[in-house]
Chain A
């Protein structure tokens, strides 16, 4: 699938950047003419992925978080969220609903939300090296009004 447009954001793992990242993703996705519901799905999935990087990848330090957004051929948005943090030892287990290594403020539903709001979700992780989450969401073309 050909890349038609691309933007990369990079920021430190401060929680104040969660809102920035999802809003930026929504703005970039606007060129695909999404419905309000599609925009909300994108914002929610980005928020989950970025929060994971902020909370879990760098539990005691500040580290770098990268968000790469791509428009792919076929009216699709690809979102990659990458960190260079602690990594996930067991990705399958991390993707299980309600599983969390976080405190009581976490619900353990982050990956479940990403999976149900996006068309595809790929997680690559190496303990001690970092994690990348790649998601794809096709946006339905609407008839010209």
Chain B
């Protein structure tokens, strides 16, 4: 479950690829925590274009990143959400909390 990060000034872009299930979620969470703590970004962009599957473990990953960004007083947006993952996130009402573009 690879996470590839790009930093530009104080904005951090994280590309999450592969399958985001319980098996892979912990690694992604820890990597995002580490990158957010190190970069202290004003904005985090989660790019999900490489995501091939997500279940409710993905919901937990997004909520955790969102909370972490709140702690460092930054904003978060999620881009390029594939249809399958988007349906899971909508079923949980995530669009009321997180900015999807």
Contact = CB atoms under 8 A, between A and B. Distances in A.
Interface string B1-42: 000000000000000000101110110010000000000000
A134 B88 CA distance: 20
A31 B63 CA distance: 37
Interface in B37-88: 53, 55-57, 59-60, 63-64, 83-84, 87-88
Contacts, number: 74
A110 B56 contact: yes
Interface in A69-121: 97, 104-110, 112-113, 116-117
A48 B56 contact: yes
A135 interface: no
A72 to B, nearest CB: 24
Contacts of A51: 21-22, 55-57
Nearest to B64: A104
Interface residues of B, number: 21
A113 to B, nearest CB: 5
Contact of A37 (B63, B64, B83, B91): B83
Given A104-B64, A116-B91, 11 more contacts: A16-B23, A18-B22, A37-B87, A51-B56, A55-B22, A104-B60, A105-B25, A109-B92, A112-B92, A113-B88, A113-B92
19 contacts: A15-B21, A15-B23, A19-B19, A37-B83, A37-B87, A44-B53, A51-B55, A51-B56, A97-B92, A104-B64, A105-B60, A106-B56, A107-B59, A107-B63, A109-B56, A110-B56, A112-B91, A112-B92, A113-B88
